[in-house]
Amino acid sequence: MSLQQASQSRVFVELVPWADRGRENNVVSGGESLPGLHRPVSSAQTQTATREVHVSGTADVSASPDRAQVAVLVSSTKEAAAEAKRSVCRRLDYITQSLQQQGLQAENVTVTKDFRRVENAYHMEAEQRIPRMHTKDSACFIAKQVCITFTEFGKMQNICNFLIEKLDSSVVISQPQFYHTPGSVENLRRKACLVAVENAWRKAQEVCNLVGQTLGKPLLIKEEETKEWEGQIDDLQSSRLSSSLTVQQKIKSATIYAASKVFITFEVKGKEKKRKNL
């Protein structure tokens, strides 16, 4: 009596590792594969295969200037040098005391050396078509310049307005020059990169949540592109005349911007199953 042959088993589904996922649509019944395809990878190869998600992130950040410098010119023209010097020193002392009362530190105030110049004053007259030159007595010109560095722009405006009100035309106050310290520019570059990385991480996190996976550790972080530029005034006509710009327009013009683009590869893990407590 011959034994009855056992019926053939058929495979309808095969789990394909991520590294060999191109085979999942080419499996046929009976466990056979289409020609030219590799054999299923071993369990050791399956454990070493890494699933990844590749994302990019961008960020644009800006920083307003953190310093402003104003120059105050104090001058006097007198016949006697000593008298001119006393006039300048009297106003200079008043300016220095006012700055101290406003809380400005001594290291933020710089006084230049004396400017001395002795010059003659001339005027021309025209009479009967014969020009004649008259010479006046010599005069001594003495001036000192006070350079003030501000970190608070509101205080800068208040002090400048106060000096103009008290000293009027006896002093000349320059337009404020806004600028950035080297440390603030470097901080802006780092901030742009970090924000871009954070945006890329959030994007990868949302992608993994959407497909029911868990985001793993980053495998590669690369900053692909960086840009820096200064602010521009909308009104081109106003930008040609810096003296006509308001303080806010000057701040906007001195604002710097930084952009960063990063590329990150993250590891993807399977969804962790929660164990039920017995």
pTM: 0.65
Q: Using alpha carbons only, give the angle 115, 117, 119 rounded to the nearest 5 degrees.
A: 160
What is the arithmetic mean of pLDDT over 82-101? Answer: 89
Q: What is the tens place of the pLDDT at every residue in 114-169?
A: 666 666 543 333 333 333 434 445 678 878 889 999 999 999 999 999 999 998 88
Q: What is the tens place of the pLDDT at every residue in 154-183?
A: 999 999 999 999 988 888 999 999 999 989
| CA–CA gap between residue 194 and residue 157 (Å, rounded) | 35
Least confident of 18-22, 65-69, 128-132: 128-132
Q: Which domains are assigned to the chain?
A: 51-66+180-232+246-270 (3.30.110.170), 67-120+138-179 (3.30.70.2970)
Residues 6+ apart with CB under 8 A from 179: 65, 67, 68, 69, 254
The phi and psi torsions of 104 (rounded to 5 degrees) equal: -80, 135
Phi-psi region of 21 (alpha: psi -120 to 50; beta: other; left: phi over 0): alpha
In angstroms, the Cα distances linking 44 to 17, 25, 39, 48, 184 are 11, 23, 14, 7, 51
DSSP for 216-271, written as a single string:
EEEEEEEEEEEEEEE---S-HHHHH-GGG--HHHHHHHH-EEEEEEEEEEEEEEPP
Here the tokens at position 231 are: 């602010």
The phi and psi torsions of 76 (rounded to 5 degrees) equal: -155, 140
Per DSSP, helices labelled H in the chain are 43-48, 81-101, 153-167, 182-210, 236-240, 247-254
| CA–CA gap between residue 61 and residue 78 (Å, rounded) | 54
